[in-house]
């Protein structure tokens, strides 16, 4: 059993209530922080912990906090990113639904550290029922004096509000999120200035993911040094992974960073192996935006080393033979899956979600969707494959926000690793007429037969 922090008390009945949460030691970190520590000491602990942002990019949280403009006369804000819309990702929902106070306590400690007096949680519109759970938890916290004026009898006061979105993946991008929170369309802003200097209402702002913020009280409880001992190298602590696709036990798991991918997929403690005992075909490790990996690169790196669930090991081999930990949205495909069809659904997703500000992203995602639709439905030509690679290349790096890259990577990597399967769709249109074409007769790559 790996060490559990975020989900340690997940099975305690009533843990969603303030009473039980406190009985299990909840809000003791907040009390310790606010009564006995200076804000900068908290940032220091977070730095020592090595905690990296859990929203996708993995930026060190303590470092991000230290960039906040303290000279500005404007109020400072902490904004929690609960937009969670990256396909394959459902960990934040699980945490907020089951242990809402862990996020509220994290907001309290983090806001105190940043000197924020008002903080917002921006949650995706579809999670209305989670909004209700959070609002109830916040109400309980106000009633108990854990939010509002003079918290723990000190002169620190904090208001926390939850803002609901309305259906737009792009609002997970931090500057689009801030625009949306200001009541506008979710169009990402040009950076710089970064939110730490000019964020919400042009004030200094830190945006962090739900899981990042919820990890902070644990760091205060056990100290940054202890937290840094969990994990491997620069991948410290524990991480929530939401696992889905063709596995026996889909769900959200807390792992110690450094677990092998093999154990995560095949042990009964986690995914419990591939459904129906079928063969594994592909893995997406960190949400739909990261490169897909073929069977032979999942549990081992290209050098034959064990692949670990860490930022470094998953990206070993760069984009040639590696991927990224991303948001922790882990999707497994077995031999019955069609990579072309799956890639097409992702292209459709990015096209639908492009905010439309930059031409390469707005137009390119549409073209990629169209070309993939054509190939998947047996109307493609060989030139289409290179066309896709070309479009992906021209989007990458040429847009305001990373959604452009995120739309290009899954497509480029699918072609890199599964080119033969794309060719098969073009050469055998009659074989792919049935939408479930590989369900009964899996596609076998000639290259992989010997692996």
Ligand X SMILES: Cc1cc2nc3c(=O)[nH]c(=O)nc-3n(C[C@H](O)[C@H](O)[C@H](O)COP(=O)(O)O)c2cc1C
Binding residues for ligand X (CB under 6 A): 53-57, 59, 81, 83-86, 170, 172-174, 207-209, 212, 401-403, 406
Judged by CB under 8 A, how many residues of this single chain contact other proteins?
A: 60
Residue with Cβ nearer ligand SF4 (219 or 403)? 403
Closest CA to 107 of 151, 69, 70, 73: 151
| Site residues (vs ligand SF4, CB under 6 A) | 170, 188, 354-358, 361-362, 399-401, 403-404
Give the nearer residue to other proteins in terms of CB position, either 227 or 330: 330
Q: What is the number of other CB atoms lying within 10 angstroms of the CB of residue 304? A: 6
Minimum Å gap between C-beta 356 and ligand SF4 is 5
Query: Among 191, 201, 379, 382, which residue interacts with other proteins (rule: CB under 8 A)?
Result: 201
357 binds, among ligand X, ligand SF4, other proteins, none (CB under 5 to 8 A by kind): ligand SF4
Shortest reach from residue 171's CB to ligand SF4, in Å: 10
Q: What is the 3-state secondary structure (H, E, C) of 35-79?
A: HHCCHHHHHHHHHHHCCECCCCCCCEHHHHHHCCCCCCCCCEEEE
Pairing mode, strands 280-284 and 293-294: antiparallel
Helix/strand/coil for 82: strand
The Cα 38–Cα 32 span in angstroms is 10
Q: How far is the CB of 411 from ligand X (least distance, A)?
A: 15
In the list ligand SF4, other proteins, ligand X, none, the entry touching 245 (Cβ below 5 to 8 angstroms by class) is: other proteins
Residue 172's binding partner among other proteins, ligand X, ligand SF4, none (Cβ under 5 to 8 angstroms by kind) is: ligand X
Distance CA 62, CA 401 (A): 23
Find residue 83's DSSP bridge partners.
none
Residue 26 exposure: Cα atoms within 13 Å on the Cβ side? 31
Could you tell which of other proteins, ligand SF4, ligand X, none binds residue 337, using a CB distance below 5 to 8 A set by kind? other proteins
Nearest approach in angstroms of CB 347 to ligand SF4 is 13
- From residue 308, alpha-carbon distances to 260, 279, 299 in Å are 4, 20, 8
Write out the binding residues for other proteins, residues 251-270 only, by CB under 8 A.
251-252
Return the number of the residue (9 or 91) whose C-beta is nearest other proteins.
91
Query: Between 187 and 203, whose beta carbon lies closer to ligand SF4?
Result: 187
State the helix-helix crossing angle for 210-222 and 39-49, rounded to 10 degrees: 100
Does residue 45 contact residue 83 with C-beta atoms inside 8 Å?
A: no
| Using rule CB under 8 A, residue 125 touches other proteins | yes
CB 185, min distance to ligand SF4, A: 10
Smallest separation (angstroms) from ligand SF4 to the CB of 148:
38
* The one among 8, 31, 126, 423 contacting other proteins by CB under 8 A: 126
Phi, psi (rounded to 5 degrees) for 319: -80, -5
CB 335 within 8 A of CB 442: yes
Q: Rounded to whole angstroms, how far apart are CA atoms 123 and 253?
A: 21
* Residues 290-329 as x/- pattern, contact with other proteins by CB under 8 A: ---------------------------------------x
Is 169 one of the binding residues for other proteins (CB under 8 A)?
A: yes
Please say which residue, 21 or 422, places its beta carbon nearer to other proteins. Answer: 422
Least distance from other proteins to the Cβ atom of residue 274, Å: 12
CB 71 within 8 A of CB 111: no
Binding test (CB under 8 A) with other proteins, winner from 224, 245, 322, 404: 245
Distances from the Cα of 66 to the Cα of 5, 29, 69, 239, angstroms = 25, 21, 8, 23
Comparison of 235 and 357: residue with beta carbon closer to ligand SF4? 357
Shortest spacing between CB 444 and other proteins, in angstroms? 19
Query: HSE of 74 in the Cβ direction (CA atoms, 13 Å)?
Result: 15
- Closer residue to other proteins, CB minimum distance, 58 or 186: 186
Query: How many Cβ atoms sit within 10 Å of the Cβ of residue 263?
Result: 17
To other proteins, the closest distance from the beta carbon of 53 in angstroms equals 19
Instruction: Tell me how far, at minimum, the Cβ of 128 lies from other proteins, in Å.
Output: 4
């Amino acid at each position: 059993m790996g060490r559990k922090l975020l989900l340690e008390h997940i099975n305690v009945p009533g843990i969603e209530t303030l009473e039980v949460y406190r009985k299990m030691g909840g809000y003791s970190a907040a009390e310790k922080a606010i009564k006995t520590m200076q804000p900068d000491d908290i940032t220091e602990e977070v730095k020592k912990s090595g905690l990296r942002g859990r929203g996708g990019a993995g930026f060190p949280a303590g470092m991000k906090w230290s960039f906040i403009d303290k000279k500005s006369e404007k109020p400072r804000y902490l904004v929690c990113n609960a937009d969670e819309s990256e396909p394959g990702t459902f960990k934040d929902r699980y945490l907020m639904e089951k242990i809402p106070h862990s996020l509220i306590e994290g907001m309290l400690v983090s806001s105190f550290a940043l000197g924020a007096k008002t903080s917002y949680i921006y949650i995706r519109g579809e999670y209305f029922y989670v909004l209700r759970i959070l609002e109830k938890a916040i109400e309980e916290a106000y009633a108990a004096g854990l939010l509002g004026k003079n918290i723990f009898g000190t002169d620190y006061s904090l208001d926390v509000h939850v803002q609901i979105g309305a259906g737009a993946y792009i609002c997970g991008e931090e500057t689009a999120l801030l625009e949306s929170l200001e009541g506008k369309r979710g169009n990402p802003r040009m950076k710089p200035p970064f939110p730490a200097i000019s964020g919400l209402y042009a004030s200094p702002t830190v945006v962090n993911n739900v899981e990042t913020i919820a990890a902070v009280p644990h760091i205060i409880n056990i100290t940054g040094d202890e937290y840094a001992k969990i994990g491997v190298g620069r991948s410290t602590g524990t991480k929530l992974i939401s696992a889905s696709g063709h596995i026996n036990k889909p769900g959200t798991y807390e792992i110690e960073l450094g677990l092998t991918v093999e154990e995560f997929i095949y042990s009964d403690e986690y995914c419990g192996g591939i459904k129906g005992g079928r063969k594994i075909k592909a893995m997406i490790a960190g949400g739909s935006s990261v490169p897909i990996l073929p069977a032979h690169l999942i549990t081992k790196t290209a050098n034959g080393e064990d692949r670990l669930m860490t930022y470094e090991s998953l990206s070993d081999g760069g984009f040639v033979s590696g991927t990224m930990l991303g948001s922790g949205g882990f999707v497994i495909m077995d031999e019955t899956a069609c990579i072309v069809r799956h890639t097409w659904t992702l292209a459709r997703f990015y096209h639908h979600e492009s905010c439309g500000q930059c031409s390469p992203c707005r137009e390119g995602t549409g073209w990629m969707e169209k070309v993939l639709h054509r190939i998947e439905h047996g109307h493609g030509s060989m030139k289409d494959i290179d066309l896709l690679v070309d479009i992906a290349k021209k989007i990458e790096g040429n847009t305001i926000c990373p959604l452009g890259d995120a739309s290009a990577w899954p497509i480029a990597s699918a072609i890199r690793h599964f080119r033969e399967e794309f060719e098969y769709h073009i050469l055998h249109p009659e074989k792919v007429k049935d939408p479930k074409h590989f369900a009964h007769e899996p596609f076998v790559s000639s290259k992989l037969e010997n692996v």
